[in-house]
Structure 1
């Protein structure tokens, strides 16, 4: 099969950067599906791994979102059959989805939304899982809960922020404040459903004071270290901060006087450690699929490529590195 991988860690324009390769189809495990990949998307994790993680073999295959059709099932698979259309975010410890075929554990796979094509469907899984786990697992907000409380989403126009805002507005009673710094990103987060928008290049505390709001929950999606003093100042006592980025130095001692809870969200944890509740990702993806088909949630895709080639995937990496992508970037699969 065809796949696009990289031969050595480093910059996107380096000698070991993305290249088309021929490799055997993946072997399916007992609970695996073999999927003909028909759509993929770009995520920050693709950039991070390409820059720092050396391939274990000749090349490493990235890609942690996919939509496609099941073409083979392992002997212990119970939830899917050949011909089923699925979407999922994969497993960071296994080869990625930038390939014609991909093997994935059925327990982290959902049924593809029927109202979206394969390419657009591929833009939803990783960010939806991240946002869902942050909202309902980390913050432990009940559906229809959160009345009288507010959520601050720092970096609301990115992939995770775009779906987190929608989930919070459609499934809870939280007031959602999102940050954005450009007219186009402000317009986007309002389209996603944010009740209020503030500028993360300005004084967050002062802007929230002007709104008369004290968030109980803060989702730190980007530049958490830069905003940390303001976050601790503006959040309500006994509030909860959840983050997905990688601050190098974070003084959590300043959170003690307010008795704050601080947690990381990492959507690959369940698959990495084969947790007892791993099937929660299948269940939430199926729920997201139903909400998309019902029109309760909307697609967060804003950038499409016409084909998946070394050149188009390289450009997608460059766009992701720019930090200016709104929503999600998607590309068709190699199996097309």
Structure 2
């Protein structure tokens, strides 16, 4: 049996502190009825990892990590979707111990088959962001291949924006995308992923977008909504919509009323948190994304790889994500 080494945090500390994340050894996991025991080969670090680590001391030790790719080693008695030996990828469940461990328990209904054309390292970059982008576009904005209009993606160089641009480029052909990026390398990145136009969000966003879409945009996806309600209200056309994934300290959307605008929240952990049969929708999304990756439609958004999966490398990954200048995704992989 593989020793169940893991990385945990016991105190909320800066990523540069040697005690911010520490190496631990856990008991071997025992699967529940719908659980898989996954031999984790790679994980990625997302802003939610940083948010949880900085959100206060845990009760005891907590293992973080959501995105993962690996090999199924054991299954629960009610599992029907996978069997030992299957290669899988998933985005996890914020209410359960995380994937920064050698062996990880995850409900089969939020797991998909790993794309065969990607390595474990490449695959680990995508699940959480792909589900977030997919649910934002199709569940919240209810876009279809026949939808036409303009989408503004604020924070387009990040993980979610990087896969969202590819989804729109290939599955929503009549939707034009304005992406935000603040540096030349970021602009080159988003253009390579399908952005039609790029504006610098550190400049006057309203003026930049207005010069491209003088009549306004139809939809906004944002990873940065703090203090932006008035700007978004000005930029949107009547009956437009915003999908937000961040946590602004306050939100007053009364400016949206005169245009009958709508505000949507997207949290990809909602289905795992709420439980029930609807969880399998994430299995379906990941299965479809894997198919599209293997067809050459989508590519991994990995830009930085660290090895091995231990406290030192995960502290560095957290530091990079906290810094806020990462383009694409940071992945931490086991050394083969």
When normalised by structure 2's length, the TM-score is: 0.96
8 A Cα contact 2:71 2:87, kept in partner:
yes
Deviation at 1:13, TM superposition (A): 3.6
Match of 1:166 in 2: 166
Deviation at 1:16, TM superposition (A): 4.3
SS of 2:264's equivalent? strand
Deviation at 1:312, TM superposition (A): 1.2
Q: Does residue 134 of structure 1 match 2:130?
A: no
Match of 2:304 in 1: 303
Deviation at 1:212, TM superposition (A): 3.2
Match of 1:52 in 2: 55
Match of 2:185 in 1: 184
Match of 2:199 in 1: 198
1:94–1:215 CA distance, 2 compared to 1 (3 A): same
RMSD: 1.3
When normalised by structure 1's length, the TM-score is: 0.96
8 A Cα contact 1:154 1:220, kept in partner:
yes
Bigger drift between 21-30 and 70-79 goes to 21-30
Structure 1 unaligned spans of 5+ = none
Q: Does residue 27 of structure 1 match 2:30?
A: yes
Match of 1:228 in 2: 229
Matches of residues 47-126 of structure 1 in structure 2 within 5 Å? Answer: 47-57=50-60, 59-126=61-128
Bigger drift between 209-218 and 30-39 goes to 209-218
8 A Cα contact 1:9 1:16, kept in partner:
no
8 A Cα contact 1:131 1:161, kept in partner:
yes
Match of 1:217 in 2: 219
Q: Does residue 17 of structure 1 match 2:20?
A: yes
8 A Cα contact 1:127 1:159, kept in partner:
yes
SS of 1:279's equivalent? helix
8 A Cα contact 1:5 1:18, kept in partner:
yes
Query: C-alpha separation between the residues in 1 aligned to 2:119 and 2:263?
Result: 38
Bigger drift between 277-286 and 6-15 goes to 6-15
